[in-house]
Structure 1
Amino acid sequence: MPHLGEIMTHLRLVLRMGQATGTDLAAAYRKGHLKQEEWAEIVQQCRGCSWAKDCPEWLERREQVEQAPSTCPNRKYFAALKTKQVENA
């Protein structure tokens, strides 16, 4: 079983990745595009990610990106939620 990181550390990483990709996770949750279980799964996947230790540095070097890096286990979530945001704008 992989070592899981601290929940709050990874919650912050998820929120920062959302900002970097232009994905408003809080708005997606409020609009029903992101369920509580999915939000928890996103954080849990981040906690188990072997690349998470490199994520803060990656985020520091970038303000805005088109999508999360291919190493991010939540890349598909960010892309799907961002698409919904654009469609409902």
Structure 2
Amino acid sequence: MSDLDMPTQPNLVLGPENDHYWLVQRMAKATGIDLVRAANTDILTQQDWAGIVTHCRGCTWSDGCGRWLDQPDDAQRDLPKPCINRKRLAEIKAELEEL
């Protein structure tokens, strides 16, 4: 099972797609991850992107994530430990830095 596959859980209610799409976008921006560049260099596929957003939709920390993202901070930050996509986003960032 890949780390982007959602475990089967009965009654798992996913959050709204649009809300989590923007949470992932904001998380990438706050942590210095250029998602457009990642997509343009084939580091981030459409399937991978959809998996990241879907994974976010099933996360129980989304309220905390929103609060973390709302904290005023112009400096680039490290990915927060509770982020369900932390590992994959860190991999994308590392791959971009190798280019």
TM-score by length of 1: 0.91
SS of the aligned residue for 2:12 comes to coil
Q: In the alignment, is residue 81 of structure 1 matched against residue 92 of structure 2?
A: yes
How far apart, CA to CA, are the structure 2 residues paired with 1:10 and 1:83? 23
Paired residue for 1:34? 44
Spell out the pairing of 1:1-89 with structure 2 (5 A cutoff): 1-61=11-71, 62-63=73-74, 64-66=76-78, 68-88=79-99
SS of the aligned residue for 1:12 comes to helix
Distance apart, 1:35 and its partner CA:
1.0
SS of the aligned residue for 1:84 comes to helix
The 4+ residue runs of structure 1 with deviation greater than 6 A are: none
Percentage of identical aligned residues:
41
Query: Please, which runs of 5 or more residues in structure 2 have no aligned partner?
Result: 1-10
Distance apart, 1:58 and its partner CA:
0.4
RMSD after superposition: 1.1
How far apart, CA to CA, are the structure 1 residues paired with 2:50 and 2:30? 20
How far apart, CA to CA, are the structure 1 residues paired with 2:85 and 2:48? 11
TM-score by length of 2: 0.82
How far apart, CA to CA, are the structure 2 residues paired with 1:24 and 1:77? 14
Query: Please, which runs of 5 or more residues in structure 1 have no aligned partner?
Result: none
The count of residues paired between Structure 1 and Structure 2 equals: 87
| Rg larger in structure | 2
SS of the aligned residue for 1:37 comes to helix
